[in-house]
Amino acid sequence: MPEEKPLILLAAGGTGGHLFPAEALAIELVNRGCRAALVTDERIASGDWAKRFPGEVYTLTAGTVTGTGLVAKAMGVLRLAKGTLEARALIARLKPGVVVGFGGYPTVPPVLAASMKGIPTILHEANAVMGRANRFLAKRATLIATGFPVPHPEWPEKTVFSGNPVRRPVLLVAEGEYHPPSEDGVLNLLVFGGSLGARVMSEVVPAAMQRISPELRARLAIVQQAREEDVNRVSRMYDALRVKHEIAPFFSDLPHRIAHAHLVIARAGAMTVTELSVIGRPAILVPLPGSLDQDQATNAAVIVAAGGALAVPQSAFTPVSLAEILERKMSNPGRLAEMAAKARSIGIADAASRLAGHVLSVLSKRASG
């Protein structure tokens, strides 16, 4: 009877920033002869994304303990305790060799339960600053892998830089080269911001178009994400300005859109910055304000330091300032090409392979120990 393949249990919150790297790692692990399973948010586990995952998908009770007020915190503690008991039962049944957490509060119960049972745990932190769920778990973790270089990690003896694993569609389009627009040619502008970031883009970008010269405006072809309620308004504004455009609430082929763009305007989530660098595209980044951790500002700083992007605080992201930036960028295609090359210079295309290597190393040490 052949020996059963080792199981790696992954845990991730229900956003793309957590799920995409988990999916990429799972595929790599399966290709290397392991089995993979996932614990995630209940909404994700019942959706289409779960059907793509190369293994079983489970849900556990999870809750944050950082809510405001004693009642909210007490409820969070109770949910965390309940989820941890559920995780202990799941882990006892599945018997994973390693548990890998990708951040978000659904990560906490399975990683906590695994550490209590003596099963090695790995945390992957996609952002340039560690999130609260991972920080809560960090002392117990066997290994911490970071998506961006951390100059002075808090746990240097167990921190490694792996990069952020990216999806196969990203790797496929990353094979193409960047071709800047000609001096008088069309410039493809891609604008997106996620569910929390699209509103400011819908307010600022069309208004900025009114302020650039008609000659430059005629050269633009805009693909823009907008909230459902903003799609018609934004589209009408571009119609009135005779700007070629495509507006939608969601683009399922976003990596392809990034690769087709000459310039991107976006938020600075970890996977956005990662995909921009792996594909190699210049960007204007507007970090989401108000975050306690300022994770997006820190993410943006990495690609800005490399010369691949310009970061604009939302308080300074106005139609006037954006119009000035666009006029400068459109009049200097060579500069856009330089930014694209510098963005790509920090891209880690083999991050899934690197992280899988760390997982298998930890698994091997457990087997030999």
Q: Who's near 338: CB < 8 A, 6+ residues apart?
A: 307
pTM for the model stands at 0.94
Residue of 291, 301, 299, 312 lying closest to 272 (CA atoms): 299
Say how far apart CA 46 and CA 49 lie, in whole Å.
Answer: 8
Say how far apart CA 26 and CA 264 lie, in whole Å.
Answer: 29
Q: Who's near 65: CB < 8 A, 6+ residues apart?
A: 73, 76, 77, 80
Helix (H, G, I), strand (E, B) or coil at 149: coil
pLDDT band at 194 (very low <50, low <70, confident <90, very high): confident
48 pLDDT more than 90: no
Instruction: Output Rg (C-alpha) for the chain, integer angstroms.
Output: 22
Say how far apart CA 280 and CA 347 lie, in whole Å.
Answer: 8
pLDDT band at 4 (very low <50, low <70, confident <90, very high): confident
pLDDT band at 2 (very low <50, low <70, confident <90, very high): low
67 pLDDT more than 60: no
pLDDT band at 50 (very low <50, low <70, confident <90, very high): confident
Mean pLDDT for the chain? 93
Q: Who's near 332: CB < 8 A, 6+ residues apart?
A: none
